[in-house]
Amino acid sequence: MTKGLALWEAYREFESAIVEAARLEKVHSLFRRQLAIPLYDMEATFAEYEEWSEDPIPESVIQSYNKALQQLEKYKPYEEALLQAEAPRLAEYQAYIDFEMKVGDPARIQLIFERALVENCLVPDLWIRYSQYLDRQLKVKDLVLSVHNRAVRNCPWTVALWSRYLLAMERYEVDHQKISATFEKALNAGFIQATDYVEIWQAYLDYLRRRVDFQQDSSKELEELRSTFTRALEYLKQEVEERFNESGDPSCVIMQNWARIEARLCNNMQKARELWDSIMTKGNAKYANMWLEYYNLERAHGDTQHCRKALHRAVQCTSDYPEHVCEVLLTMERTEGTLEDWDIAVQKTETRLARVNEQRIKAAEKEAALAQQEEEKAEHRKKARAEKKALKKKKKIRGGDKHRADEDDEKEWGDDEEEQPSKRRRVENSVPPADEARGIGMEAELAGKRAPVHVDPPAKQKAKAASLKRDMAKVPHDSSKDSITVFVSNLPYSMEEPDVKLRPLFETCGDVAEIRPIFSNRGDFRGYCYVEFKDEKSALQALELDRKNVEGRPMFVSPCVDKSKNPDFKVFRYSTALEKHKLFISGLPFSCTKEELEEICKAHGTVKDLRLVTNRAGKPKGLAYVEYENESQASQAVMKMDGMTIKENVIRVAISNPPQRKVPEKPEARKAPGGPMVPRQIYGARGKGRTQLSLLPRALQRPSTAAPQTENGPAPRPAVATSAATEAPKMSNADFAKLLLRK
């Protein structure tokens, strides 16, 4: 639409330059053809035709012109979107293609695909869609094969394009040698996954199988098929496993297909059984579905004896669903077996199921024992902390500072009550009603009037007020209500009357039965609370309020789960695996808002979700995650946005693939074989500081003696040092005092 006008004008100028009368009709024809096509500036062309033509314009030409104008109005939004967007404009081209596919004009569909591929030739999905349209709609041999060839040349790493190319070549009866050569090119294309090689081998083997005439016992095509199966298995074992360190075909799909061909098409059950034996020896004997697949093949093309034998082996080897295999064996013996066969089957299945149940009971007992050990360890740690606090208190009392000891005890007791949100403390403090608090205050005021002799200082009055708040009744959390309760944390410590301020927020999710904020032993709000609803549906809906901003901080809302009974429970709701449609952006300025970043990202595709990473206080960390509609849009955004400058900050953009968390090293791993346990060095949160000095006196720091030299270099050190050379002389406290006083 945007370039066509220049072509038509050049054509008409060429024809008009020839003054022969016979050419006049040719120019009329060009005007009429041009006016029937929707192009920009059609009105100027129509006015030029009226001025050039001596005769009135025919009514049929005017009708075609008006129809083209109507079509132009439909196409204009898509063309204008392309003009306004920046390259590669994949999303705009996709929308334009969808529109043209609905209209259904083959020439225009082919044209818009070609225009899109000029700027997006490295997008495999676009090539797949184009080739699929040509395969199913146009079906023009030269055009189809040409597009397939260009597709694999531009995106050789995409196995789907090679598979479609092989199918197209077979569909249009291309020479076998060319198809084989194309397959060899595919093997050398460098796919990025081991499974891709399995897929291309399957496509080529399917092609070879369709070439075979199985009416003949032996033929050249059948021998080629069998030799290719053998080559495929060797290739996957030697090339793919060495390169990717994985099989790529753990279920042995290629061997299963070979076994089916031998059994069903070649009537060669002996070869099929050999293949299945090989499949089972590759670690598949423990899966019930593999044995049932083999059993179904024997039922269809084998005999009852081999079916029974396969099921007996399955009963002994299956570990995932042994009950299902046992049921299939009993069903077969019930319909086909003798009484002796039935007795043997019942005995084997009962023995196997008894052993399986015994193993499951042992596993459950072991798990329960581990859980009990964890509970005992937690209880032991709790007692040790309590004893340590009591000992510390006694020491301070003996020192004569009893008042400070009481305050420290209150502080430690309160700090001990505050734990991570995931630990779900079972003991909470509840605030008394306002009337009761007012009554306490009035009573204290009257008491003060009756005893004017002694007035407490302001500090002591404040301590008494805090003591009144600490003495409020403690209500234990009912674990039976976990399903209708949510745990709310990361609230501001300065929040006054949390239950009153949070109630309107949570009542939007349903009827709130109670809000229980947690206070310290000194009456300070601890920043978290329990919200109990009247039904489970409201509690589930309340989880959607997670990360909602409350008084400048993101509020964390999570299920109420006892961490001691569910140690594997995790509240983190974001994926930590590779997500090809999601981007990770770093280096953002702290002043960048979600709306500003979303406006930038929208230029490269449809943004489904955008999340700015913040700390617990709600402050931005300069990081963000952006989720696009598909992988193609994400890959285009990476290429366009990586290295972009936003508010003088150069950002980094990559596909979201968080690193795996390091598993803490077990003590057994640090123990040297045959040697003592090596203690693990403990540093602070920032690692080993540069100011950590050795506290060993310099007089005891013996410099390492240099090794004696020989003609050929340093003399070898003795294997075992004497005790006099390795042990430092024992010194008393008096000796250390002399060293320090330099006596």
Distance CA 727, CA 701 (A): 12
Query: Are 105 and 74 spatial neighbours (Cβ–Cβ below 8 Å)?
Result: no
* Domains by residue range for the chain, with CATH: 485-559 (3.30.70.330), 582-655 (3.30.70.330)
Instruction: Give the phi and the psi of residue 42 in degrees, each rounded to 5.
Output: -65, -30
pLDDT of residue 188: 92
Half-sphere exposure of 311 (CA within 13 A, CB side): 29
pLDDT for 565: 66
pLDDT block averages, 10 residues each, the chain of length 743: 84 74 78 91 90 88 93 92 91 94 92 94 95 93 95 95 96 95 94 92 96 85 94 92 86 94 93 94 92 94 93 92 93 93 94 92 91 91 89 73 48 39 38 40 40 47 50 58 87 86 88 88 85 89 85 85 66 69 89 87 86 80 88 83 86 83 51 43 44 54 46 43 49 78 68
Between CA 80 and CA 598 the distance in angstroms is 22
Q: For 531, which DSSP code?
A: E
pLDDT of residue 699: 55
Amino acid at 280: M
Outline where 212-303 has alpha helix (H): 220-235, 241-244, 253-260, 269-279, 288-301
Backbone angles phi, psi at 439, to 5 degrees: -65, -40
- The CA angle 666-670-676, to the nearest 5 degrees, is 125
Cβ atoms of 690 and 623 within 8 Å: the answer is no
422: Cβ–Cβ under 8 A, 6 or more apart, which residues? 558, 561, 563, 569, 571
Element (H, E) at 705: none
The tokens for 122 are 């490295």
In the numeric block, which tokens belong to residue 60?
Answer: 């049929």
pLDDT score of 116:
95
SS3 709: strand
Check: pTM over 0.85? Answer yes or no. no
CA separation for the pair 124, 161 (Å, rounded): 8
Number of residues that this document lists for the chain: 743
Measured at the alpha carbon of residue 640, what is the angle toward residues 637 and 643, in degrees to the nearest 5? 115
Q: How far apart are CA 574 and CA 275, in angstroms?
A: 44
Strand partners, 429: 474
For residue 155, the tally of other CB atoms under 10 A from its CB is 20
Task: Report the pLDDT value the prediction gives residue 461, as an integer from 0 to 100.
Answer: 52
Question: Token pair for residue 182?
Answer: 């194309």
Q: Which residue has the tokens 């999570």?
A: 558
